[in-house]
Amino acid sequence: MKLKFPGIFFTWRTYIAVIALVIIYILGFFNYTFYKAGNLIFYILLGAVFVDALILLLNKNGIEAKRETTSKLSNGDENPISLHVQNNFLFPVSITIIDEIPIQFQVRNFEVKGKLTSGEQKEYKYALKPVLRGEYHFGFINVLTRSPLGLVERKIKCGDKTMLPVYPSFIQMRKYELLAISNKLMHAGVKKIRKIGNTTEFDHIKEYTIGDDIRTINWKAVARKGKLMVNRFQDEKSQPVYSIIDMGRAMQMPFEKLSLLDYAINASLVISNIAYLKHDKPGLITFSSKIHSYVPAERRGSQMYRLMETLYNQKTNFQESGFEQLYAYTKMNLTQRSLLLLFTNFETLSGLKRQLKYMRSIAKNHLLVVIFFENTELHTLINKKAENTQDIYYKTIAEKHEMEKRLITKELAAYGIQSIYTAPANLSVNTINKYLELKARNLI
């Protein structure tokens, strides 16, 4: 119920007082004393409400609040949001903060309660996890303020409307960056990691000549030959590493609210950053029924920014993926042998075989790694104990789909094509491990 003053509302205390007053007036029909008491209480309540509203309205800027966020949000990650609230009233207040969260989150019951003494400033934190890239619009910060009397509350709008873009997961990119540099992600059985430093790599051993760096003397070779021998190094060659993202309708399948396409976009940003740090040249190709975007593999300083801006705008058109066009495009534009990380998804062996000839043609000129997804939701059916005929049917169908995925891996291996079969949640770390494995084996 709204009073004549803008932004002023009754609280539950006022409603209880009014109900009590009505009861007293009813009793006044039977006893005049109650009637007189009711009149007295009525004027006291009216005066108290008036005073309470007045002290809340006198200070125009009684409450100040502002929202603190990063300049952009990371897709699929928990993004911290801070609300800074300050009490400029001369008395303590109770507050309820209602932040106008972007409509994409569908949060309709967000509120934070607290108390502030006079002049006190507090920070309230919460987190948001977007699952779609795009523009997210925040509204005002609404602060419902109550004085110690607590008979009315004043709604104060603070802050400004803000638009924050949601980008591919740069939080994951930073998270895996340090781990990959220190080789702590190599828990998949890979032992040998080629260390990259000073942009050089070992070439051969030769006899020492005047002018050679004495720090490169190979003492084991000296002991065998009986003369000074040194290690010879050559400049390390940067290899192109392309993330190729299938944006066809098969990539729109959701897992934990995030689509396979967004998982692939997040992982491609992570692996591109790791490749850049490993002195390789990251690049990007996205396609569905046609080629949507192409970022040539380079090592210039703005490359990661270009990749992030390109990935931000990628959307599916829900059409069938054209692998024949992908082959033609790579044949024409990728003249140097490259590592191609193809993020796609196949549910059946027959679906793979329709595209296999194009992938085999691509693999003749490049090192192709096909990355496809495990349907983790089928594990519940596979691991569930069958109690009736229907359960047996569902369990059999789930196991058949799982077997199809395993056969896809074997079919690719039969033609010498590398593959990664992974759960969506493990996509980034498994892709990094495969990349490091291929470098360790000197395949790129």
The model's pLDDT over 76-119, given as tens digits with 9 standing for 90+, comes to 889 999 999 999 999 999 999 999 999 988 888 888 999 999 99
pLDDT at 9 over 90: no
What integer pLDDT is reported at residue 300 of this predicted model? 84
Q: How far apart are CA 294 and CA 362, in angstroms?
A: 17
- pLDDT-based confidence at residue 397 (cuts at 50, 70, 90): confident
Q: How far apart are CA 62 and CA 89, in angstroms?
A: 5
- pLDDT-based confidence at residue 236 (cuts at 50, 70, 90): low
Nearest to 21 by CA among 10, 9, 37, 32: 37
SS3 of 384, please?
coil
> For residue 309, what are its two tokens?
């801006």
Q: How far apart are CA 1 and CA 395, in angstroms?
A: 57
Give CB contacts under 8 A, 24+ apart, made by 38-46.
41/17, 45/14, 45/17, 45/18, 45/21, 45/151
Report if pTM > 0.95: no
What integer pLDDT is reported at residue 233 of this predicted model? 65
Q: How far apart are CA 434 and CA 379, in angstroms?
A: 24
Nearest to 194 by CA among 222, 233, 244, 230: 233
- Lowest average pLDDT, out of 253-267, 307-321, 376-390, goes to 376-390
Query: Amino acid identity, residue 19?
Result: I
> For residue 397, what are its two tokens?
């169908």
Mean pLDDT of 224-247: 82
Position with higher pLDDT, 138 vs 8: 138
- pLDDT-based confidence at residue 425 (cuts at 50, 70, 90): confident
pLDDT at 313 over 90: no
Contact call for residues 129 and 80 (beta carbons, < 8 A): no
What integer pLDDT is reported at residue 79 of this predicted model? 93
Residue in the structure block whose two tokens are 């004495």: 214
How many helices and strands, by DSSP H and E, does the chain display? 11, 21
- Lowest average pLDDT, out of 36-50, 83-97, 259-273, 330-344, goes to 36-50
Q: How far apart are CA 366 and CA 339, in angstroms?
A: 6
- Lowest average pLDDT, out of 165-174, 248-257, 341-350, 378-387, goes to 378-387
